[in-house]
């Protein structure tokens, strides 16, 4: 379990806090999607949780151990997969993983067994004799996944890990994340690919300007967001705009008129048609639908 | 695997480290070799292989016996052929250094050429000697005396070699008396000589024998002769002038120490900081500024342990390189001078150059936490190396010129000592001053041969210890605190 408590990080007093009194809990056996714009504070939160960056105040607890005060015990139970894998590029995977494994105090035979299994699992075993500098970006990410699991940590954090992966890579990482969840691990998944987040997350935390804006649980995700109606109306004019504005916010997108923030109940949608058609407006399209996570995200970010 | 072993291996096996370590050890070895091979000290076991030959005949068959020896008269292994009238006769080794040739002869006087080659310090050298055999007068050569044999540990160069080949292959000498005494002029009077000899001894049953009579300082500057007679007959005399005797001081540990600072020391003071700075950059600084170190810090390790572990690995490799270079240099030096560096001296210089190297590692770690880009860091470290190691002597020279401090004065020495204290690269010069009472290294004192009392200039063991520890500890502790307290 990862518990983030009142975390604040100020890089420079001249700028605002990168993370501002942020609290969050990722439970065992849960995937928590972590979304926010660039600079929202996602990576800072993850880097602090991984023990890389020091918080200005607050703390992160990994299985109850403080990452700042009990770093060794805390780090033993957290794996971090960064967005850009960054290793000693002249190294070969096995010696480097043995070096990393050395920090977890594994017996030699266990160490070798783990390394073989992990490299096989991520599909790099046949490339084990090649230096990391010869690996493609995707292979480096796979290596990053493998080395993050070397100590079999209870908690995992993926920071934009899906970026730059081909569809097969995305599918592979998604499956790996789901498999780790099934083992009862707490997983923090940060990504810009909101559809992936939506697909695998049990909850989603939205961060903006360093603050936690919203946490969506699975039920909310399933019935995500506010309803909208997409219409196509011939001869749409100011009068028509005035007529439908009383039902919600009107946005024109190409030929489409999108009605959001609806002020009318679903059962009364035909009333909109009844208002327009008698006045000679031809409604070619009338499509009520739910809001996507992306739309919801931008709406809520906009609200903040 | 213990992470620190990986870090030591990484420090040791990066391409730059390999090149630098090979350069440090290889150049130290070459400098020692050069120092030994070119030394004029008479204790040096340099020079080539010489020969002395004797013979006996049986009808028209000549048996030539040759003894091959080094400058100290010790037997040497060679590959040798004898040739007479363009016919080659291979030699067979009958014992160490002794080779025998069976040669049919047509005339009483023959000139036999010996072509021999030998290995010396890994190289093959060839030589040729002409042996004149006159069987008309003697059917065996008997006793030969070869002067100019050096004994490495003696205080005299009056060594000589006796070599005996008797009739019918009897290679052991009959009992003989050997006299050594002064001679003057070219006239040699046996009875007078025997009456005034200063050294005598009896020998028998040898084929070859090296003798180093200890005549003492009273014999310096005088010519001596060696005379041999049979102690069973008063009619057989053979003499050969040797000398004059000149006493020499054997190559001492003190000479080795001074030589070390002026040769290997100059090399180490250039290469060790270079190795240290770049090793620290490649294994720590670069990893830190590029974020590679994060792949380690995320493990169950504190940031303090991460920096300490790499610093330890770098320090071990730098110190080990220094120790190996010094030991290799000492072994090669011993090959020529027969004197090992005193163990205490090896400890002192290992300590001194290790402090120099580790200080540069520590300073590099410190700068790794001040700068955030690879280029800025690398540039700064090269600058540190150039200022503290390369141009420190230039800065010193400029300053003494600006302040018009005359060379060789007490002020000059004080200033130089202060300057050495002010640079990590100057530490070895301070240790040199403490050990040899001379100043050298990167800012050599123009009156370098003048003895300086180190204590009078603040070069004491305590201050040296404190200075060394401070040069290592201060930059490293600051780097350590920055690593722990800052992102």
The pLDDT assigned to A106 comes to 87
Asked if B481 is an interface residue toward chain A (Cβ–Cβ < 8 A), one would say no
Q: Smallest Cβ distance to B298: which of A54, A75, A98? A: A75
The answer on pLDDT for B155 being more than 80 is: no
For the cut 50, the answer to whether the pLDDT of residue B444 exceeds it is no
Average pLDDT over residues B269-298: 94
- Predicted local confidence at residue A304, as pLDDT: 57
Examine the pLDDT at B42 and tell me if it is beyond 70: no
> From the CA of B9, how many Å to the nearest CA of chain A?
11
Contacts of B303 in chain A (CB under 8 A): 71
Express each pLDDT in A230-246 by its tens digit.
Answer: 899 988 888 889 889 99
Query: B443 is written with which tokens?
Result: 């800012």
Cβ of B295 within 8 Å of Cβ of A87? The answer is yes
The neighbour count for residue B300, using CB atoms within 10 Å, is 19
Q: How confident is the model at residue A211 (pLDDT cuts 50, 70, 90)?
A: very high
CA-based nearest distance B369→chain A, Å: 14
Instruction: Please give the residue that has the higher pLDDT: either B22 or B149.
Output: B22
Q: Which of residues 229-288 of B touch A (CB under 8 A)?
A: 287
Q: State yes or no: cis peptide before B448, omega within 30 of 0.
A: no
Q: What is the 3-state secondary structure (H, E, C) of B300-363?
A: CCCHHHHHHHHHHHHHHHHHHHHHHHHHHHHHHHHHHHCCCCCHHHHHHHHHHHHHHHHHHHHH
B278-307 residues touching A, CB cutoff 8 A: 287, 290-292, 294-303
- Taking 80 as the threshold, does the pLDDT of residue B45 lie above it? no
Q: How confident is the model at residue B447 (pLDDT cuts 50, 70, 90)?
A: very low
Average pLDDT of A272-290?
86
| pLDDT tens digits, B113-137 | 999 998 876 678 889 999 988 888 8
This prediction has a pTM of 0.74
> Of A28-32, B35-39, B113-117, B356-360, which range is least confident?
B35-39
Q: Do B6 and A76 touch (CB under 8 A)?
A: no
Task: Assign B220 a pLDDT band (cuts: 50, 70, 90).
Answer: confident
Residue B7 with chain A: CB contacts under 8 Å: 99
The whole-number pLDDT of residue B234 equals 61
* Least Cα separation, residue B424 to chain A (angstroms): 30
Q: Residues of chain B with pLDDT > 70: what percent?
A: 91
- At A259 the pLDDT is 87
Q: Burial of B59 by CB count in 10 Å (0-12 exposed, 13-18 middle, 19+ buried)?
A: exposed
**Which chain B residue's Cα is nearest to A55?**
B487
In Å, how far is A228's CA from the nearest CA of chain B?
45
CB contact under 8 A, A104 and B292: no
User: Which of B172-202 are b and which e, b meaning 16 or more Cβ less than 10 Å from the residue's Cβ?
Assistant: ebbebbbbbbbbeeeeeeeeebbeebebeee
Cβ of A54 and B297 within 8 Å?
A: no
Chain A contact for B167 (CB, 8 A cutoff)? no
pLDDT surpasses 90 at A44: yes
| B357–chain A nearest CA distance, Å | 24
DSSP B292: T
Smallest Cα distance from B379 to chain A, Å: 21
End-to-end C-alpha distance for chain B, whole angstroms: 28
- Secondary structure (3-state) at B126: strand
> What is the spatial distance between Cα B407 and Cα A13, in angstroms, rounded to a whole number?
55
Inter-chain CB proximity A76 and B2 less than 8 Å: no
Helices (H), B203-302: 253-262, 264-280, 286-290, 294-297
Which one of B6, B292, B300 has the shortest CB-CB distance to A87?
B292
Residue positions counted in chain A:
304
What pLDDT is recorded for position A192? 81
**Do the beta carbons of residue B301 and residue A103 sit within 8 Å?**
yes
Mean pLDDT of B158-172: 87
| Residue of B17, B35, B13, B36 lying closest to B25 (CA atoms) | B17
Instruction: Inspect the interface and report whether the beta carbons of A72 and B485 lie closer than 8 Å.
Output: no
Output the six-digit token pair for B463. 């201050």
**Residue B139 confidence (pLDDT) above 90:** no
Average pLDDT rounded to a whole number, residues B382-403:
91
Tell me what pLDDT residue B449 has.
55
Cβ–Cβ of A75/B301 closer than 8 Å? yes
Judged against a pLDDT cut of 70, whether residue A293 lies above it is answered with yes
Contacts of B297 in chain A (CB under 8 A): 51-52
Chain B residues touching A82 at Cβ < 8 A:
294
Option in B7, B298, B485 nearest A52 (CB): B298
Name the residue in chain B with its Cα closest to that of A96: B6
CA proximity to B171, closest of B146, B141, B132: B141
Taking alpha carbons only, the member of B311, B282, B273 closest to residue B483 is B311
In angstroms, what CA-CA distances link A23 with A188, B150, B227, B448? 13, 87, 106, 70
Contacts of B486 (CB under 8 A, 6+ apart): A54, B369
The pLDDT assigned to B441 comes to: 46
Under the banding of pLDDT at 50, 70 and 90, the label for residue B442 is: very low
Interface of A with B (CB under 8 A): 50-54, 71-73, 75-76, 78-80, 82, 86-88, 90, 95, 98-104, 108, 111, 147, 151
Contacts of A90 in chain B (CB under 8 A): 14
Per-residue pLDDT tens over the stretch B202-211: 999 999 999 9
Q: What is the pLDDT of residue B367?
A: 96
Which residue in chain B has the smallest CA separation from A76?
Answer: B300
Q: In the predicted model, what is the mean pLDDT of chain B?
A: 87
What percentage of chain A has pLDDT greater than the value 90?
Answer: 55
Partner-chain contact B302 A100, CB within 8 Å: no
Contact A111 B1 (CB under 8 A): yes
Q: What per-residue string of b and e applies to A246-270 under the rule 16 or more CB within 10 Å gives b? A: ebbebeeeeeebbbbebebeeeebe
Q: Are B160 and B178 in contact (CB under 8 A)?
A: no
What are the residues facing B241 on neighbouring strands? B225
DSSP string across chain A: -EEEEEEEE-S-TTS--SEEEEEEEE-TT-EEEEE--TTSSHHHHHHHHTTSS--SEEEEEETTEETTTSHHHHHHTEEEE-SS----TTS-HHHHHHHHHHTTT--HHHHHHHHHHHHHHTT-GGGTTS-GGGS-HHHHHHHHHHHHTTT--SEEEEESTTTT--HHHHHHHHHHHHHHHHTT-EEEEE-S-HHHHHHH-SEEEEEETTEEEEEE-HHHHHT-S--EEEEEETT--HHHHHHHHTTSEEEEETTEEEEES--S-GGGTHHHHHHHGGGT--EEEEEEEPPPHHHHHHHHHHH-
* Residue B179 backbone dihedrals phi, psi, to 5 degrees: -115, 140
For B298, the closest of A50, A98, A111 (CB atoms) is A50
CB spacing of A80 vs B298 below 8 angstroms: yes
Q: How many residue pairs from chains A and B have C-beta atoms closer than 8 A?
A: 66
Taking an 8 Å cut-off on Cβ atoms, the answer to whether B1 and A98 are in contact is yes
Strands A203-208 and A31-35: parallel
How confident is the model at residue B59, as a pLDDT?
85
Q: Which residues pair with B162 in a beta bridge?
A: B145, B209
Q: Quote the mean pLDDT of chain A.
A: 89
How distant is the Cα of B81 from the closest Cα of chain A, in angstroms? 55
Q: Would the CB atoms of B3 and A54 count as touching at under 8 Å?
A: no
B389 Cα to chain A: minimum distance (Å): 29
Cβ contact A120:A94 at 8 Å: no
Pick from A76, A81, A85, A86: which is nearest to A106 by CA? A76
Contacts of B482 in chain A (CB under 8 A): none
Task: Answer for the pair B163, B208: CB distance below 8 angstroms, yes or no.
Answer: yes
Q: What is the pLDDT of residue B109?
A: 87
Distance CA B113, CA B86 (A): 10
Reported as a pLDDT band with limits 50, 70 and 90, residue B249 is low
Q: Worst-scoring range by mean pLDDT, A60-74, A221-235, B93-107?
A: A221-235
Pairing mode of beta strands A78-81, A155-159: parallel
Hey, are the CB atoms on A71 and B300 less than 8 Å from each other?
yes
């Amino acid at each position: 379990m990862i518990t983030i408590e009142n975390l604040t990080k100020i890089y420079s007093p001249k700028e605002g806090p990168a993370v501002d009194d942020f609290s969050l809990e990722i439970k065992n056996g849960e995937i928590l999607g972590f979304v926010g714009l660039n600079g929202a504070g996602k990576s800072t939160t993850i880097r602090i949780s991984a023990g890389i960056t020091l918080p200005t105040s607050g703390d992160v607890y990994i299985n109850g151990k403080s990452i700042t005060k009990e770093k060794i015990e805390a780090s033993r139970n957290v794996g971090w997969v960064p967005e850009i894998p960054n290793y000693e590029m002249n190294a070969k995977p096995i010696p480097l993983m043995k070096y990393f494994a050395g920090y977890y105090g594994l017996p030699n035979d266990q160490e070798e067994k783990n390394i073989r299994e992990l490299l096989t699992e991520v599909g790099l075993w046949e490339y084990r004799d090649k230096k990391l500098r010869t690996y493609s970006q995707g292979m480096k990410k796979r290596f990053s996944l493998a080395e993050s699991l070397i100590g079999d940590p209870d908690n995992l954090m993926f920071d934009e890990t899906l970026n730059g992966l081909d569809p097969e890579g995305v599918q592979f990482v998604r499956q790996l994340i789901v498999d780790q969840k099934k083992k009862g691990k707490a997983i923090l998944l940060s990504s810009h690919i909101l559809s992936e987040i939506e697909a695998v997350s049990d909850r989603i935390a939205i961060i903006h300007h360093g603050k936690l804006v919203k946490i969506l649980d699975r039920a909310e995700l399933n019935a995500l967001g506010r309803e909208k109606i997409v219409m196509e109306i011939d001869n749409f004019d100011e009068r028509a705009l005035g007529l439908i504005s009383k039902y919600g916010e009107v946005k024109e997108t190409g030929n489409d008129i999108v009605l959001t923030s609806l002020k009318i109940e679903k059962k009364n949608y035909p009333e909109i048609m009844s208002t327009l058609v008698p006045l000679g407006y031809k409604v070619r399209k009338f499509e009520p639908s739910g809001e996507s996570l992306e739309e919801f995200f931008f709406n809520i970010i906009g609200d903040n | 695997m213990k992470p620190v072993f990986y870090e030591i291996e990484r420090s040791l096996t990066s391409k730059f480290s390999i090149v630098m370590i090979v350069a440090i050890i290889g150049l130290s070895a070459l400098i020692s070799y050069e120092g030994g091979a070119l030394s004029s000290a008479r204790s040096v076991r340099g020079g080539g292989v010489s020969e002395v030959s004797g013979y006996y005949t049986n009808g028209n068959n000549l048996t030539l016996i040759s003894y091959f020896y080094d400058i100290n008269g010790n037997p040497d292994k060679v590959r040798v052929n004898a040739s007479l009238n363009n016919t080659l006769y291979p030699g067979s080794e009958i014992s160490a250094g002794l080779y025998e040739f069976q040669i049919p002869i047509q005339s009483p006087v023959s000139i036999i050429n010996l072509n021999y080659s030998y290995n010396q310090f890994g190289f093959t050298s060839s030589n040729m000697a002409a042996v004149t055999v006159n069987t008309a007068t003697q059917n065996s050569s008997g006793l030969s005396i070869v002067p100019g044999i050096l004994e490495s540990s003696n205080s005299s160069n009056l060594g000589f070699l006796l070599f005996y080949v008797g009739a019918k292959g009897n290679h052991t000498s009959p009992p003989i008396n050997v006299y050594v005494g002064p001679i003057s002029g070219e006239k040699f009077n046996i009875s007078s000589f025997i009456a005034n000899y200063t050294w005598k001894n009896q020998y028998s049953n040898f084929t070859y024998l090296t003798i180093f009579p200890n005549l003492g300082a009273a014999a310096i500057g005088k010519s001596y002769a060696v005379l041999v007679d049979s102690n069973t007959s008063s009619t057989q005399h053979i003499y050969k002038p040797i000398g004059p005797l000149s006493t020499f001081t054997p190559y001492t540990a003190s000479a080795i120490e001074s030589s070390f600072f002026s040769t290997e020391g100059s090399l180490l003071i250039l290469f060790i900081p270079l190795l240290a700075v770049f090793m620290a950059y490649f294994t720590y600084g670069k990893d830190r500024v590029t974020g590679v170190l994060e792949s380690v810090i995320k493990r169950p390790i504190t940031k303090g342990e991460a920096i300490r572990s790499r610093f330890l690995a770098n320090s071990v490799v730098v110190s080990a390189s220094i120790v190996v270079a010094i030991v290799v240099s000492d072994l090669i030096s011993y090959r020529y001078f027969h004197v090992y560096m005193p163990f205490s001296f090896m400890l002192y210089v290992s300590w001194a150059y290790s402090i120099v190297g580790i200080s540069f590692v520590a300073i590099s770690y410190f700068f790794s936490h001040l700068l955030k880009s690879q280029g800025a860091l690398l540039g700064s470290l090269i600058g540190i190396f150039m200022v503290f190691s390369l141009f420190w002597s230039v800065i010193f020279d400029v300053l003494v010129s600006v302040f018009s401090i005359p060379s060789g004065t007490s002020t000059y020495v004080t200033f130089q000592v202060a300057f050495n204290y002010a640079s990590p690269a100057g530490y070895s010069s301070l240790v040199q001053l403490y050990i040899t009472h001379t100043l050298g290294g990167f800012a050599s004192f123009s009156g370098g041969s003048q003895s300086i009392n180190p204590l009078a200039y603040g070069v004491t063991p305590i201050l040296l210890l404190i200075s060394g520890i401070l040069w290592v500890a201060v930059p490293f502790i600051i780097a350590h605190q920055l690593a722990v307290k800052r992102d």
